[in-house]
Structure 1
Amino acid sequence: MALAVMFAVLAAAANATASVLQRKAARREPDRGGLSLRMLLDLARQPAWIGGIITILLGFALQAAALAAGPILLVQPILILEVGFTLLLSTLVFRSRLHVREWVAVLGMSAGVALLLVAFAPRGGDTRNAPTAAWILGSVVTVMVAGLLTLFGHRSRDARRAAFLGVAAGIWFGFTAALVAGVMAALAGGIGALAGTWQLYALVVAGPLGFFQLQNALRAGRLVASQPGLTLANPVASVGWGIAVFGDQVRGGAWIIAEVAGAAAVAVCTVLLARSPLLQGEQGRSEQDASPGQERAAR
């Protein structure tokens, strides 16, 4: 379990690094509304964006290692810490500083995740021997829910659009985490067993779709609209997969109060952090507007 926690924390740090690097690259791009091939080609010429892609792959590898060492109910909630790591790294890259509210939110989120994991104490799951019928039902339900939310998002505007797409992306990442868990469980049986598992081929399709969904969610509106759903839907979907498909067990009784308290702390702190100018890029833009000479020198 300790190994799974370590890999999950490192994965959260890698994902945060990727987020900061991609935001740094995106600041040089004009706001064209949606993701396009031309924008991807422009971004691909920037070292910061390439570095972001490399660290995304590193984060994926670390997450896979974490899921190989521990249950999805343990690993996915830890990845919530990515938001706090992103904020801390933003202070270094964009030369800003945290205020009291942001420090409180970072510490509160960390405490909420810790409380959630202690209260859950997941045990008893078996990813390798999960019933095929449960896999199929879980996949169909997840794809349908994510698809409907994406459809609602594209039919909505502004904050509602970003919120719907953010939740859809978060659910999809929970689905890809379940597929990764299935792939890592099959890998324990050797290369032959891995080649014969359908989760591997589903992951090849689901991974790029998740990346595209994420880019659209982040560009659909302000981060304060998309980030909470994106951050919170992932572990919620993972909890559903862990309990309903993999047979993980969590503590009940009075521990439910602690679980609700931990989840509430994470939710409130996520909203607070999503409102931070450091994550939204507003502070960086205002500084550039005030100092155009410094902006030209930086370029």
Structure 2
Amino acid sequence: MAVLSVVFAVLAAVSNALGTVLQRRAALTVPQSQGFRIGLMWDLLRTPIWLFGILGVVFAALFQGVALATGPLAVVQPIFVLELPFALLIAGVVFKRQMSRAGWVSVGLIVTGLGLALGSAAPSGGNPQAPAALWFLALACCGGAMAVLCAAALRRPVGPARAACLGFAAAIGYALTAALMKSATDTLDHDGVAAFFEAWQTYAFAAVGVGALFLLENAMQAGPLVASQPALTLGDALISLSLGVTLYDEHVRTGWWLLPAIIGVGLVLTGVVGLSRLDILPQETADSAPRRTAAAPRGARLSENP
């Protein structure tokens, strides 16, 4: 079952990466948002290519649901780190852009670091459902943290600090969405469709997921990718690991295993920052700020010459 969850988690990362590429292309036609606005989503909804990108996200959610139903949350969500290099590789084909040597090195660091971190932590076990008291605590902590980060972002001008705050808030939202989805898919698997639509987790993961998407779209417009992407990528993985351990009683190895796990996380961070730097549009300067647009859910901002 663990192998099956890993396979579907990788498929989810690939599908979401494809959606990212399509949405990036659509985002080139969307006016820049100077603030924190609902209208950004309306602009994107009126773009057909963006809707095809959302279809990729829908398939990613289906794959993610299967992965969460067959494996630990602490395994499935960190694999989504691979979405960033997948998105860049797909963009290279779609936009006919070659990956630089530095880009390939960053991809190698991400893959190696992820394998080292997961292999060292070796998440396993866990309960299929979490107690109501733990859910209350998790929702309160995650919701409170997201509110604080959003408030901090709104008090700062457009730039790296604002982007990082919104990116980390989106990461918490995506991690919480995955935790809620795991509970809902377990209900579907064991109790059927009727119980699935009666479970509060079903509606909660849909609502939190939409909120996380909204935060991410604004994070990508708030500042450079090098500020928001590491907060999003590593925040999602680390918060998901924490929720897996606290909510679902999943087990990870500690002791001396923490050393290679930390090294693995460091390699992933280095690779993510490297790819983010390579992927910043050359037009993203003060003189060309109006060309900065929202990127796709959970993905990278992919540069293209229009």
Q: Which residue of 1 aligns with 2:132?
A: 132
Superimposed CA distance per residue, residues 12-56 of structure 1 (whole angstroms, 9 cap, x where no aligned partner): 011111111111111123324246565544434433212111111
Question: C-alpha distance in 2, partners of 1:215/1:116?
Answer: 29
Give the letter for the 2:234 counterpart: L
Q: Kindly tell me: are residues 48 and 282 of structure 1, through their superposed partners in 2, closer, same or farther at Cα, counting changes over 3 Å?
A: farther
- Structure 1: gaps of 5 or more residues: 290-297
| Higher RCO (C-alpha under 8 Å, 6+ residues apart) | 2
Q: Which residue of 2 aligns with 1:85?
A: 86
Q: CA deviation at 1:193?
A: 3.0
1:154 aligns with 2:154: yes
Q: CA deviation at 1:90?
A: 1.8
Q: Which residue of 2 aligns with 1:256?
A: 258
Q: CA deviation at 1:136?
A: 1.0
TM-score where L is the length of structure 2: 0.87
Give the letter for the 1:132 counterpart: A
Q: Which residue of 2 aligns with 1:215?
A: 217
Superimposed CA distance per residue, residues 81-115 of structure 1 (whole angstroms, 9 cap, x where no aligned partner): 00111111121222221111110000110111111
Deviates more, 1:192-201 or 1:61-70: 192-201
Task: Give the secondary structure class of the aligned counterpart of 1:282.
Answer: coil
1:98-177 equivalences under 5 Å are 98-128=99-129, 130-157=130-157, 158-177=159-178
Deviates more, 1:190-199 or 1:219-228: 190-199
Superimposed CA distance per residue, residues 235-287 of structure 1 (whole angstroms, 9 cap, x where no aligned partner): 1110111111110001122211111111111111111111113xx3438999x
Question: C-alpha distance in 2, partners of 1:238/1:42?
Answer: 31
TM-score where L is the length of structure 1: 0.89
Question: C-alpha distance in 1, partners of 2:199/2:178?
Answer: 15
Q: Kindly tell me: are residues 45 and 199 of structure 1, through their superposed partners in 2, closer, same or farther at Cα, counting changes over 3 Å?
A: closer
Question: C-alpha distance in 1, partners of 2:255/2:44?
Answer: 51
Question: C-alpha distance in 2, partners of 1:18/1:193?
Answer: 30
- Residue 35 of structure 1 contacts residue 215 of structure 1 at CA under 8 Å; is this kept in 2? no
Q: Kindly tell me: are residues 90 and 283 of structure 1, through their superposed partners in 2, closer, same or farther at Cα, counting changes over 3 Å?
A: farther
Q: CA deviation at 1:205?
A: 1.7
Deviates more, 1:229-238 or 1:84-93: 84-93
Q: Which residue of 1 aligns with 2:233?
A: 231
Superimposed CA distance per residue, residues 159-218 of structure 1 (whole angstroms, 9 cap, x where no aligned partner): 100010001101110000000011011112223432332211212321211111111111
State the number of aligned residues: 286
Q: Which residue of 2 aligns with 1:295?
A: none
Deviates more, 1:194-203 or 1:103-112: 194-203
- Residue 5 of structure 1 contacts residue 74 of structure 1 at CA under 8 Å; is this kept in 2? yes
- Residue 176 of structure 2 contacts residue 205 of structure 2 at CA under 8 Å; is this kept in 1? no
- Residue 178 of structure 2 contacts residue 205 of structure 2 at CA under 8 Å; is this kept in 1? no
Q: Kindly tell me: are residues 41 and 251 of structure 1, through their superposed partners in 2, closer, same or farther at Cα, counting changes over 3 Å?
A: closer
Q: Which residue of 2 aligns with 1:9?
A: 10
Question: C-alpha distance in 1, partners of 2:33/2:254?
Answer: 49
1:60 aligns with 2:64: no
Question: C-alpha distance in 2, partners of 1:199/1:243?
Answer: 18
Larger radius of gyration between Structure 1 and Structure 2: 1
Question: C-alpha distance in 1, partners of 2:51/2:42?
Answer: 11
Question: C-alpha distance in 2, partners of 1:185/1:261?
Answer: 33
- Residue 35 of structure 1 contacts residue 219 of structure 1 at CA under 8 Å; is this kept in 2? no
Q: Which residue of 2 aligns with 1:33?
A: 34
Task: Give the secondary structure class of the aligned counterpart of 2:30.
Answer: coil
Superimposed CA distance per residue, residues 116-147 of structure 1 (whole angstroms, 9 cap, x where no aligned partner): 1111211220132x221111111111110111
